[in-house]
Structure 1
């Protein structure tokens, strides 16, 4: 009934009532999420994010594009999600709206989805921007920021940093009674403990998650829906898998059976990430009870689903057991000549699952991203020019417009023009904000 009334409201609120219409559209998206109507939710979020800027309510557009991107990511549209975030950032920059509240949200979604695809050249600068823009006064966005920081750190192989982010996030979630955040954070730490063989610690964390009634955010708030599925749901399955692989075939057989129902549900809902993950776990369970043929069949289906949009973290996070299974699969010549795309994807997976990859490939890439300001500047919708960087450095030194004009031998009016351009590109309105943002981006 609520959804029907919301649709009636949209029919009555024509485009001369755009401000109210976009609010109704965004809330309608949440209502559709709660009832599992994913396509309708995407349509509602799309309207809100498209019209929010036109109605001069950019913060609604920023929230809506984040919601839209996370839903697309969950259902297998990572490329579409990334494009939507980048377009929103570019449009907001053109309209000088990047200083509005909520501007960190499209950057945060962009960082998280780029993490899934191991695209750190996009993830790291976007995460830096998100961190500079999201205030701890907005507890929901701030918790999301710390969760994504932990997710990115974990994929980078920085386990200590991931745990630091998790523990900071836990303090904030508990302090502000954010039940959904606490559940996600405990499940994330449990997954790290499982990967490191600490099954008792993981079980205690997941027991705490299980004692909490399912938070409503897991049904309607897209980031929480994604985090809940990827951590709270998956962690318990990974714990059963780890226990089974430690010489408990009965547990593995029960897991294989239970996963059939979960896979069917994910397939019917069109949730691609879950379809991939559940099959990956089932393939490992099959392998653990020596049903190699079934394991390879299920694994091939998982990889076939993951390859087109380059979903990588979903597979790589299964660690050494997955590396062993893929190695055996490769040795069995299980792919035909027609599987060209899958072959290339498989090679990328094997590289990422190789323990030497972080040392030989990822670590140098990450170091370059941190050391070279141009990599962070790439996150800006429009990079600063060489002259603007010169002006920015002098601003950071505390020089006035007159001082800068004398240093660079240019007119004061030219300095003012450069400063205004810098403010627009960085999405700030004061010198102090510009300096802080530039330092977060390693521009100065």
Structure 2
């Protein structure tokens, strides 16, 4: 045969005769040059594959090569099978089937059957419920896979299907093979055999020690196990629990004990690692375990009651549930362990003297070994000093608690404390230091494999807030989204993460998204009934959104409900032991100032801001001082007094420039842009003003008649030079771009400055933009 051809042998795994294998091996050794041999098989054939591989004569397409990508799955499901699914539905099915083509075809058949009888109404529900026990999948796997296996393999598959991960000795323990003391087990050999015959098993490491079953295959096996041997299931889980305990994999040991409904064993194991689990911030996992236990069993274990109460508090669960567990613990010798938690409750509720008293009592009574609780008590004392304005001592104490907690493996407190210090640095206007501290917190908030623990969400949300201020909105959104996702595992997302996300969405012009995030923040604030600060913070942000969108009536109602108008005439008084509500008041009054400007009550605005300025300065709050100066400038601008507006604007710029503040200016909108143009013209921080102007969205140009203040219009060549100046090109670069001499460029630049009435490049660009000659950056 002179032409190239291919011989295809399908279902080769059905061949059992050695004579055929030997004949095929001979053919491979003497293969004609124009021939290709293609073998489709479920298992590696007994042929000299290693030799062929070494010679480069073998091309292998394995399970991972044959799985569909998400795009390929979308094309198959929508174009070929005609299902017209949304992208998130396709992604869910691809994940569920792991790209298995036959599985996708069978799920398509099942969905077509549902759509023909029930319509498209509950496609999402079908996908969510779809498992390996679906009849199409079940029939295929049983008929094509399971029934072809020897009974010993079927038994192994069914009994080990309770495991999410498989390794040889674990499988031996679960299957009870061999009986204890009767030689080595067969688990590892069986796993390797299953991999060789490609029986829906996936290796998890390069050493082939750990495996898992394909998700749909595991569903099938578990379904069959429940149907055929339901009484064996608790025994299998109990054996798995014992193996994991001996391997010091306690989370898995607890999970299998709970699945076995051996609640005494599960409670015993949970108590052993309760403190460690909380120190790693795995609150959701811990609460999931304890919630599964019978309530009487938990109540009889005081230590477990204390740790459950801590987890409930830190995860923001309802106060009633926390109090119930605290009362259970108080009836035992664990009463001293309750004091730090009571202190934290008092702190959340703004009862500072009580928080301090309880924290000190805890430190007096707790043993030195109670590091988890002692660190919490010390942290509470430091926070109380911080809220009283004692920044030096409180910062030193916080730093000490962070280092001690980190050394003791108490990741949760260590990272919480670092985040407290970072927030303090932000209030002090030291944004770059705050970023470094958050980065340190992220390094600490990782497990042994470098994966982020749930508490890392707090640091990521903090970084998101910083990058929002620096106007890196893409990075901010990334940090906030990831931070919220991790914080949900912690169980304590809180309203603040969603408020920060709402700010970013607002900055990107996504007002619907901003309101969606705000509503989510409001839901969380209502659920977190331990403190009112979240409710107040959400309402404050809503008021800012209303003002920004021109809904002044809604903002006015908020101001009246909060009784803010009284502070226009009666200045806010500082209190050393102020309530949380009082501490938030100055931030509310800054929003009130914006409302007063919008209402054109400008004298009242200036009086209010004048009373707030010394408070912010005494409390060392540069960010707030910048905000106050900026609002003063806006009030003077609204009065038509641009000369007076420049003084507070210049102070705001001088404070903000070293730390790179951006959004604090841009969020105030076009009026601030107009002030910045004027500042640049007058030589007030021209470079920084230019960078800020570049962050504003395109602004409407001023009316054409305002350009009349120019001495004479710019020529076409002068406009060309001006545009290149605005792009940041040097005189030499402009000369090269326009094919003129350097002297000519300088001459044109001098004409531009004269016509615009300015003295330098930055002022020229700012003036041209303010007149509408150049578009806004």
Query: TM-score scaled to structure 1, two decimals?
Result: 0.67
Q: Counterparts of 2:449 and 2:396 in 1: how far apart (Å)?
A: 26
- Structure with larger Rg: 2
Q: Counterparts of 1:167 and 1:95 in 2: how far apart (Å)?
A: 37
Unmatched runs of 5 consecutive residues or more in structure 1: 245-250, 336-341, 358-444
Residues 305 and 150 of structure 1, relative CA distance in 2, 3 Å threshold: same
Q: Which residue of 2 aligns with 1:146?
A: 498
Matched-pair contact (CA < 8 Å) for 1:58–1:97: no
Q: Counterparts of 1:3 and 1:268 in 2: how far apart (Å)?
A: 24
The answer on 1:74 being equivalent to 2:427 is: yes
Q: Kindly state the Cα deviation for residue 80 of structure 1 after the two structures are TM-superposed.
A: 0.7
**Aligned counterpart in structure 1 of residue 660 of structure 2, from 310, 325, 335:** 310
Q: Counterparts of 1:225 and 1:15 in 2: how far apart (Å)?
A: 37
Q: Kindly state the Cα deviation for residue 220 of structure 1 after the two structures are TM-superposed.
A: 8.5
Matched-pair contact (CA < 8 Å) for 2:622–2:655: yes
Partner of 1:355, secondary structure, is: coil
Q: Counterparts of 1:49 and 1:233 in 2: how far apart (Å)?
A: 34
The answer on 1:257 being equivalent to 2:607 is: yes
**Aligned counterpart in structure 1 of residue 510 of structure 2, from 140, 152, 158:** 158
Q: Kindly state the Cα deviation for residue 97 of structure 1 after the two structures are TM-superposed.
A: 7.4
Matched-pair contact (CA < 8 Å) for 2:525–2:535: yes
| CA RMSD, Structure 1 to Structure 2 (Å) | 3.5
Q: Which residue of 2 aligns with 1:373?
A: none
**Aligned counterpart in structure 1 of residue 674 of structure 2, from 324, 334, 338:** 324
Residues 21 and 225 of structure 1, relative CA distance in 2, 3 Å threshold: farther
Q: Counterparts of 1:11 and 1:296 in 2: how far apart (Å)?
A: 56
Q: Counterparts of 2:442 and 2:554 in 1: how far apart (Å)?
A: 41
Alignment of 1:14-29 (within 5 A): 19-29=372-382
Q: Counterparts of 2:414 and 2:431 in 1: how far apart (Å)?
A: 19
Q: Kindly state the Cα deviation for residue 44 of structure 1 after the two structures are TM-superposed.
A: 2.9
How many residues are paired up? 336
Q: Which residue of 2 aligns with 1:62?
A: 415
Q: Counterparts of 2:486 and 2:457 in 1: how far apart (Å)?
A: 5
Matched-pair contact (CA < 8 Å) for 1:188–1:231: no
Q: Which residue of 2 aligns with 1:203?
A: 556
Mean Cα deviation higher: 36-45 or 49-58: 36-45
Q: Counterparts of 1:8 and 1:18 in 2: how far apart (Å)?
A: 15
Higher helix proportion, which one?
1
Alignment of 1:38-437 (within 5 A): 38-93=391-446, 95-96=448-449, 100-135=453-488, 138-139=491-492, 141-177=493-529, 178-210=531-563, 228=584, 232-244=588-600, 251-331=601-681, 333-335=682-684, 342-355=685-698
Q: Kindly state the Cα deviation for residue 59 of structure 1 after the two structures are TM-superposed.
A: 0.7
Q: Counterparts of 1:131 and 1:48 in 2: how far apart (Å)?
A: 25
Residues 6 and 239 of structure 1, relative CA distance in 2, 3 Å threshold: same
Q: Kindly state the Cα deviation for residue 210 of structure 1 after the two structures are TM-superposed.
A: 4.0
Query: TM-score scaled to structure 2, two decimals?
Result: 0.40
Residues 327 and 356 of structure 1, relative CA distance in 2, 3 Å threshold: closer
Q: Which residue of 2 aligns with 1:435?
A: none
Mean Cα deviation higher: 16-25 or 128-137: 16-25
Residues 160 and 65 of structure 1, relative CA distance in 2, 3 Å threshold: same
Q: Counterparts of 2:551 and 2:645 in 1: how far apart (Å)?
A: 26
Matched-pair contact (CA < 8 Å) for 2:680–2:686: no
Mean Cα deviation higher: 322-331 or 129-138: 129-138
Task: Choose between structure 1 and 2 for higher RCO, CA contacts under 8 A separated by at least 6 residues.
Answer: 1
Residues 97 and 205 of structure 1, relative CA distance in 2, 3 Å threshold: farther
Mean Cα deviation higher: 232-241 or 287-296: 287-296
Q: Counterparts of 2:368 and 2:507 in 1: how far apart (Å)?
A: 44
Partner of 2:409, secondary structure, is: coil
Residues 292 and 203 of structure 1, relative CA distance in 2, 3 Å threshold: same
Q: Counterparts of 1:79 and 1:128 in 2: how far apart (Å)?
A: 22
Residues 161-188 of structure 1, C-alpha deviations (whole Å, 9 max, x = no match): 1111111222332344352222221221
Matched-pair contact (CA < 8 Å) for 1:53–1:92: no
Residues 177-225 of structure 1, C-alpha deviations (whole Å, 9 max, x = no match): 35222222122121112112221122123333449xx9x9x9698xx99
Q: Counterparts of 1:18 and 1:172 in 2: how far apart (Å)?
A: 31
